[in-house]
Every structure is written in structure tokens, then in C-alpha cells.
Amino acid sequence: MLQDARGARWHFLDNLPDLADRGVEPAGTVLAVHGNPTWSYLWRRVVAAGADVGWRVVAVDQLEMGLSERTGEPRTLPQRVADLAAFTDALGLEGPVVTLGHDWGGVVSLGWAVDHPQQLAGVALLNTAVHQSDDVPLPAALRLALAGPVLPLGTRTTRAFLETTLALARPRLPRDVAEAYRLPYRTPAARRGIEGFVVDIPATPDHPSRPELDRISDGVTRLDVPALLLWGPHDPVFSDRYLDDLVRRLPHAHVHRFAGAGHLVAEDVDVASPIMTWLGGAARSELSAPSASSVGSPSSFVPIWGGLDARAADDSPAVLDMTVGEHDAARSVSWRALDRQVRRIAAGLHGIGVRRGDRVSLLVEPGPTLTALVYACLRIGAVVVVADAGLGVRGLTRAQRGAWPGYVVAQRKGLAAARALGWPGVRISADPLPAAARRALGVRHELVDVARSGEGRDLPPEPGPEDEAAVLFTSGSTGPAKGVVYTHAQLSALRDVLATHFDVGPATGLVTGFAPFALLGPALGTRSVTPRMDVSAPRTLTARAVADAVRAADGDMVFLSPAAVLNVVDTGGELGAADRAALGRVRTFLSTGAPISADLLASAGTLMPRATAHTPYGMTECLLVTDITSGGVRDAAAAPDAGVCVGAAIDGVDVLVAALDDDGAATGRPEATPGVLGEVVVRAGHLKERYDRLRLTDLAAVRDVPPGRWHRTGDVGHLDAAGRLWIEGRLAHVLTTPDGPLAPVGTEQHVERVEQVRRAALVGVGPAGVQQAVAVVEPVASAGLRRPGLAPAELGAAVRAASPVPLAAVLVAPAMPTDVRHNSKIDRARLAAWADGVLTGGRVGAP
């Protein structure tokens, strides 16, 4: 216990004796402050871990809380900030100090930080809030706790508030941990501090503690020290709304949202390790380190809308949309009309309050409206948030709450989802709605009115190359979809790479059935057309729809996803002579999103016989990495290498491979040695800036290889003697067998040569290090095998004979589970779990 100058007695945890025993002089002190109704026990792991990196950690129990003194005096926020200063004075605490807070302890810790700038070295926060907008109600849980007689009954008389808080843990707290949290609060008298904390919540503008809250929130914006925000998004009190506010006040902060964590984030996940890594200097040194994306960046910057500006006076078609009704004519928008609409929407959005750096989520189907919206937002420096409808309701909800946009532009379906699921953002309807529907959906503006209000108005200054431009969400095929942040410089670099590598110019006609690239036509200064299809389901595209689009746009370049290619080839028999003649004019055909087989590429080539076929390799984080033509695919087919050859790196991109160890981890130094199986790492001028609010994921995805930093792709493969890259699967899908790591794709390719097999997946069952290989096959339709489970003896024998590795079993899955964006990436993790269940006697159902 420690007694301050006023006589108040404090309980605290302190690892200084541990440091002394190790003979370590502390690099600084972490001042950790709990909230309500926890106590210093919350920080026990941080206290223990601090000694490992040479930092003293002091975790204090606030007065009236934990094991500190019950003075019986009511304590307001100003008093608690003064209390903490009295404690640190009594402790003789000197700098450098990093404050760490959770819940209302976050506000108190920030109050100390604002008041002690000379000692302050950094601030770290778990779920908390420093500002409450007058037009936003308090969270429902706090409104209930504050309600009349409920307040003393729930907080002091009973343990309801305490037990409700403990119940927020994900997963449920172990019994001994829950009992430890209850320890200081056994009696109503001991729980007066819990009640007092709730009473002091500044719920209204006239609350006595509101001026202090405003003082602290304003002071936070002037803190120029390193900051770390670790967040549990499943928090019914401190939601992502408060995280977004903190990010605006601390724009330089490192942020990580733990997808499965909630209010008690320190119990739900390991927060001690990232805090110690940050304290150890990795995070702060990266603030001044060159970005991985800066390598190879162009010396001159032309904004992404440069191609549109260059053709602003052109009355020829810029965008054609054929996704309208089956028998409707394509919608056509000229360059002049598109430029005018972009400027009207941009000025209108600025007029309703959209500012540089504000996030705008676009839940609008691809077409002229979405195209105009994207360029309007980019033009005024708003950050475009794009997530595929294919992510499903759960995935979209996670994306919207993760990005926390200030504005949402959506059609009726998206507006209904936003209303029902509580997605953040001021709602703007992309389509006119009846007044009743607007009220029901919470629509604040209609896009037609926004555009009309922007007519003739001046635009704000353009954003700069380093300003954020977009948050693009990954497909979610290898885990929860992640937001990938791009700056304007990186988007412009992507445009330039596309234009140079594929010879795209004003005369090009681009047909795209792959939504991410449908928006790049105006940037490239070329007309573009979206064929008749469901853009969220690429496999709905038909050969005839592609031919129609080529005719409509006088197209000579076709860009499709692998799933779209598969259905286009399957429906090729429906083409008439005029359709074949149209496709015969195509000079360039591209398929990207997942590797495509030589046979499928050759089949597509028969439909577009004059076209040079390309299958670029890339990912949301770096949309173009390597490229290979149909000729290169044919040459590669004769090579003995395992995997899919995706060609050599394009100009401006570097590719290396980090070798796998026996545990399947990419621990080797990245290098270009031929034949080494490992994780693919890349760097390029159009590589992403970072993952959005996923700082730990960012750190895990970076490899430092002087003279720069490289992105870990998560793909495994090897380079050959000619410098070509061969992809052999995902790092997460590598089998760890007694003979060493085994990538799946090479074996799958052999199995897929069996006549009855349409697709195959190799998965591992059993403990790591001794996994056994199991082949799961999707039979061709003519095989008539619709029952999942063990393969018939004849098929099993054929598959075993084709496989280059021994197989523990051969299973049949009538349809492979795939990802939601491309409909082509096989979900091997799901198949592995299914195979394990089948082979251990579980219920046999479809995977």
C-alpha cells in the first residue's frame, strides 16, 4: 500500500522488484489504469510481461475501487484525474511514462497524459471513450444502468453490474479468474465505488464531469507521442464508434481490432505481447521507416482521375452497363457526362459535410452510378470503402463496423441491411425513394439531390499522393475479410502498371466481368463495359453475354475471373456465328483472382482465337505481381515443376521466396534461389499501404529484407531457373508430414488428370508433423457420384495411382466449398475438418 500526501491509501501492482532482481534498469514506466468495475488484477499479465522487455509496469487500483481505500467521498472525473496525479507524485514517478487505460480508466489515464506532457512517452488504450456526441445516445447498457432506482440496485445493492461486466468475456471467464474480479466487491459498502463511477458518467451536456471530459478529449488531439489502440469490437458499451473517434484524435496511432474480442479485451486475447512489442520499439521505429509500398513509386504523380480529366470534353461512350434487364439496351454514359456527374456529386458530397479523410462506404452495384461515386469521393479526398456483397450479411457487417464509415451510399437493399444491422454512417440513398421509405430506412440524403446541389459549385483542393484513397476488403477466402488501405499514389501506380504492361489506352475497349477492375476504365482513359451478369456471382457470366458486351463497346480486351471463365467456356456452345465473329476481334484476354489451368485457358482461347491470353497473379494487397501468357503456360506445362506457373514478375515488382521449415513455417531468409519451396514475398509501388486497424496483422505480414520491407503473401511456391513463379497453395494449407512440408497444388494437378475428377483438393489429417495426406475429389457430372464420403474402389484406385504422394484416403465431395468473391478458391480448411470427421466415424454430410 502507498499513502499519498492527502493521506489516501493506494493498492497497486509493481514489477520493479522483478526488474531489480534481474539487474535491469527500467527503460520507462507503464502507468496502467483500470475502469469500472475491474481493478489492477486486469493488468496482471502486462505487469508480468513488462520485465521481459525492461519496462516497469505500475497497475493502480483507483480510490473506492479494488483494494485501495474506501474514503466514502464521491469522486468525479476531475477528482479521479487529480487522484492519479497524487498517486504518481507519492510514488515519485518520473518519465518516460506510457499511460495504459481501459474503460473509464482510459479517460482517467488520458487526463494524466494531457497534464504531464514532459513525462509522457506514449499512450495505449483498450476499449474506452473520450467523447460523447450530444446527438448520439449513450449505449443502451449504460442508459439502463443510469435509470432511476436501477442505478443503486444494480451497482451497489446487488452485484448485477459487476456480474454483467464479467459475463461480457469471450469466452467465459474461468471460475478462479471471475472470483478474483469479485474479491474486492463482496459487500454493498465495497461496491459504492462501482455506483459512483456510473453516477459520474457524463451522459448529458450539463453533467458536472462533462467539462473535464471535453478538456481531456480536446487535449488528446494535441498529443504527439506514439499511440497504441487495442480493441474488442464485440463491446456493447464502447463500440467502434468510440474507436473511430479516437483514431480521428490520434491519427498516427497503431490500431488493432481483435475480431473475436469484446469489452474485456485483456481477458479475451493476449494484449500483453503486442503492448510489449510496441514498447520494445518496433512500432515506433516503423513510424519513420520507409513504407514497403514506397519502393519503386513513380517520381511523378498523376491522380487516379487523370484519365477522366483528359477526356472531359469527349462525347464518345466512357461507361456502358449491360447488367440491366435481360432485354434492355445497355446504359451508356459519355466522357463529358461522366465528368460532369463526378464533379456534381463531388461538390454535393462536400456540401453535405464530407471532408478529406472521411470514409464513404459504397454499397452500390457496379455500373455508371458506382463509377461516378468512386471518382467523386476520390476527387475530394474522401476514402472509398468497398466490400463485396458476396461476403454475406455477417461479412459485410464485420467490414462496415471495422471500417466505421462516416457515410454510406447504398441502394434499397443495402439501406435495409444498414438499418436492420446498425451499420454506421449517415445514409445516402443511391436511388430516389418515397418519403415513407426514406424515414423507415433512416435516409438523410438522396444522391440525386446531392448531385443537384453540387451543380456549378467549386471543388475543394485535391488530395495529395500520400493521402488515403480507399479501403478494399479481401475476399474472406482465407479468414475474415480484411480492409486493405491504399493511398492515392498507390492507386495511381496500379493504373500505370496496367496501362503499361497491357498496352491499355484511349482506343482500348475493356470488357470486364471482374468487379474490382470494372472501375479502372475511366482512370485508364478507356471505355469499359460490364456484361450482363450478376456481378456478385461471376459464374453467372455466359459466353453470349461476353460477345454482346464486346459488340456494344467495340471491345478488344476482356477481363474475367476464373469462375467466370469456367462458365463462359461451358456455355460456348450457345454462340452463334455473329457471336464468334465478335469474340474473334478480341486481342487481349485476362483472367485473375486464382490460378487457371492450361486446359481451361486453352478452351477459352478457342472462343477468342486472336487473343493473347494472360493470367496475372496478384491479390487485394497487390493486384498485379506476375503475368504469364498462354504461350508461357504451354511452355510451363512441359516443365517438371509442381504447382501453377504464374510467370515472371512484371516491371516494378520484385518477388522472393522464404523457405519453409519442417513445421511448415516460413522461417527462411527470402531469396531467389530456384526450386526452394516457401512463402512468396513481394514489393512494388502499387502494394497496399497497410491493413486497416489490424496492426498486428500488419506486423506479421512484413518481412524486413534490406534495403526494403516486403509483403508476405501467404501463398507458397517456388521460383524456377528462368525466374518464373510457381504457386503451390496457401501457407495455411501446407501439410506437415513425417517427410517434411507438402504443398497441396502439385498433387492436386496430378489427381485432376483422372478422367472422373473435375476438381481435387489435398488436405492433411492428424497431428501436426505426422499429418497424412487425403485427396478430396469433386467428380465430373457424368460420373453420377452424388453421395459424399469414401470414394468407390475404382475411383480411389485411379486417384492413388495418379498421385505422386501416398494417400491415406480418397474422399468424394459432390461440390467443393469455395470462396465468396471468385467462386473458385477451394476452402481447404473446411475440407480438412470435414475429412477428419468422415475418417473418424463422424456423420457424413456435404462439406
**pLDDT for residue 283:** 40
**What CATH number did the domain enclosing 825 receive?**
3.30.300.30
- The values of phi and psi at residue 36, to 5°, are -115, 125
**pLDDT for residue 515:** 65
Q: Where residue 822 falls among pLDDT bands split at 50, 70, 90?
A: very low
**pLDDT for residue 326:** 54
Is it true that the peptide bond before 707 is cis, omega within 30 degrees of 0? yes
- The values of phi and psi at residue 299, to 5°, are -75, -30
CA distance 484 to 490: 12
CA distance 182 to 169: 14
CA distance 643 to 808: 21
Do both 676 and 746 map to the same domain? no
Asked whether the predicted pLDDT for residue 660 surpasses 50, the reply is yes
CA distance 712 to 682: 7
**What CATH number did the domain enclosing 109 receive?**
3.40.50.1820
Q: Where residue 518 falls among pLDDT bands split at 50, 70, 90?
A: confident
**pLDDT for residue 339:** 97
Write out the three cell numbers for 419: 438499418
Q: Determine the length of the chain.
A: 847
Q: Where residue 478 falls among pLDDT bands split at 50, 70, 90?
A: low
**What CATH number did the domain enclosing 677 receive?**
2.30.38.10
**pLDDT for residue 539:** 81
Asked whether the predicted pLDDT for residue 285 surpasses 60, the reply is no
Nearest to 531 by CA among 508, 553, 513: 513
CA distance 197 to 182: 17
Do both 270 and 412 map to the same domain? no
Q: Is 624 in contact with 494 (CB distance < 8 Å)?
A: yes
**pLDDT for residue 717:** 97
Do both 606 and 641 map to the same domain? no
Q: What integer best gives the mean pLDDT of the chain?
A: 91
**pLDDT for residue 146:** 82
**pLDDT for residue 824:** 54
Asked if residue 689 belongs to a domain, the reply is yes
**pLDDT for residue 269:** 97
**pLDDT for residue 327:** 54
135-164 average pLDDT score: 86
Asked if residue 640 belongs to a domain, the reply is yes
Nearest to 62 by CA among 40, 45, 93: 40
Asked if residue 360 belongs to a domain, the reply is yes
**pLDDT for residue 819:** 59
Maximum Cα–Cα distance across the chain: 95
Do both 678 and 557 map to the same domain? no
Residue type, 333: V
Mind listing the pLDDT tens digit for each residue in 130-149?
998 877 778 878 888 788 78
Asked if residue 383 belongs to a domain, the reply is yes
Query: Which DSSP state fits 768?
Result: T
Task: Write the DSSP assignment of 510-572 as a string of letters.
Answer: EEE-SHHHHTTHHHHT-EEEE-SS-TT-GGG--HHHHHHHHHHHT--EEEE-HHHHHHHHHTG
Write out the three cell numbers for 239: 463500440
Do both 518 and 566 map to the same domain? yes
Residue type, 546: V
Alpha-carbon distance values, 270 to 98, 104, 362, 844 (Å)? 19, 21, 34, 36
CA distance 759 to 749: 9
> Residue 314: how many CB atoms within 10 A of its CB?
17
DSSP strand E in 311-442: where? 317-321, 331-334, 359-363, 383-386, 407-410, 426-429
Q: Is 820 in contact with 481 (CB distance < 8 Å)?
A: no
What's the N-to-C CA distance of the chain in angstroms?
Answer: 59
Mind listing the pLDDT tens digit for each residue in 401-452?
999 999 999 999 999 999 999 999 999 999 999 999 999 999 999 999 999 9
Task: Write the DSSP assignment of 624-684 as a string of letters.
Answer: EEEE-BHHHHHHHHTS---SEEEEEEPTTEEEEEEEB-TTS-B-SPPB--TT--EEEEEEE
Q: Under DSSP, is residue 727 helix (H, G, I), strand (E, B) or coil?
A: strand
**pLDDT for residue 234:** 95
Q: Is 501 in contact with 637 (CB distance < 8 Å)?
A: no
Mind listing the pLDDT tens digit for each residue in 712-771?
999 999 999 999 999 999 999 999 999 999 999 999 999 999 999 999 999 999 999 999
Asked if residue 740 belongs to a domain, the reply is yes
**What CATH number did the domain enclosing 421 receive?**
3.40.50.980
Do both 91 and 232 map to the same domain? yes
**pLDDT for residue 324:** 59
Asked if residue 471 belongs to a domain, the reply is no
CA distance 132 to 389: 32
Do both 710 and 752 map to the same domain? no
Residue type, 315: D
**pLDDT for residue 298:** 45
Q: Where residue 299 falls among pLDDT bands split at 50, 70, 90?
A: low
Mind listing the pLDDT tens digit for each residue in 775-807?
999 999 888 888 899 999 999 999 999 999 999
CA distance 603 to 797: 29
Domain count, the chain: 5
Residue type, 623: L
Cell 450457345 identifies what position? 574
Do both 593 and 635 map to the same domain? no
Asked if residue 154 belongs to a domain, the reply is no
Do both 514 and 601 map to the same domain? yes
- The values of phi and psi at residue 717, to 5°, are 175, -160
Cell 445516402 identifies what position? 428
Q: 782 versus 161: which is more confidently predicted?
A: 161
Task: Write the DSSP assignment of 145-177 as a string of letters.
Answer: HHSTTHHHIIIIISSHHHHHHHTT-SSPPPHHH
> Residue 275: how many CB atoms within 10 A of its CB?
28
- The values of phi and psi at residue 96, to 5°, are -80, 145
Asked if residue 202 belongs to a domain, the reply is no
CA distance 377 to 383: 7
Q: What angle do CA 399, 402, 404 make, to 5 degrees?
A: 100
Half-sphere exposure of 70 (CA within 13 A, CB side): 15
Listed in sequence order, the residues at least 6 apart from 340 whose beta carbon sits closer than 8 Å to its beta carbon are none
* % of residues, the chain, pLDDT over 90: 77
Residue that is last in its domain, among 732, 764, 781: 732
Residue that is last in its domain, among 590, 615, 640: 615
**pLDDT for residue 282:** 42
Listed in sequence order, the residues at least 6 apart from 345 whose beta carbon sits closer than 8 Å to its beta carbon are 372, 373, 376, 447, 450, 451, 454
Lowest mean pLDDT of 249-258, 561-570, 756-765, name the range.
Answer: 561-570
Q: What angle in degrees, to the nearest 10, is found between the helix axes of 543-553 and 562-570?
A: 100
140-168 average pLDDT score: 89
Residue type, 339: D
Do both 646 and 756 map to the same domain? no
Q: Is 750 in contact with 806 (CB distance < 8 Å)?
A: no
229-233 average pLDDT score: 97
Q: Where residue 150 falls among pLDDT bands split at 50, 70, 90?
A: confident
Question: Could you list the residue range(s) of the whole structural domain that residue 571 is in?
Answer: 502-615
Residue that is last in its domain, among 680, 714, 732: 732
**pLDDT for residue 600:** 83
Do both 341 and 251 map to the same domain? no
Look at the alpha carbons of 807, 811, 813, 818 in this order and tell me if their dihedral is positive or negative: negative
- Buried/exposed 45-83: b ≥16 CB within 10 Å, e otherwise: bbbebbbeebbbbbbbbbbbbbbbbebeeebbbbebbbb
Do both 228 and 113 map to the same domain? yes
Write out the three cell numbers for 415: 439501406
User: For residue 201, is it left (φ>0), alpha (ψ between -120 and 50) or beta?
Assistant: beta
Lowest mean pLDDT of 118-132, 256-270, 307-321, 780-794, name the range.
Answer: 780-794
Write out the three cell numbers for 530: 460490364
Cell 461522366 identifies what position? 338
Half-sphere exposure of 394 (CA within 13 A, CB side): 5
193-209 average pLDDT score: 92
Burial class (CB in 10 A: 0-12, 13-18, 19+), 378: buried
CA distance 593 to 824: 8
- Which helix (H) or strand (E) segment holds residue 362: the answer is strand 359-363
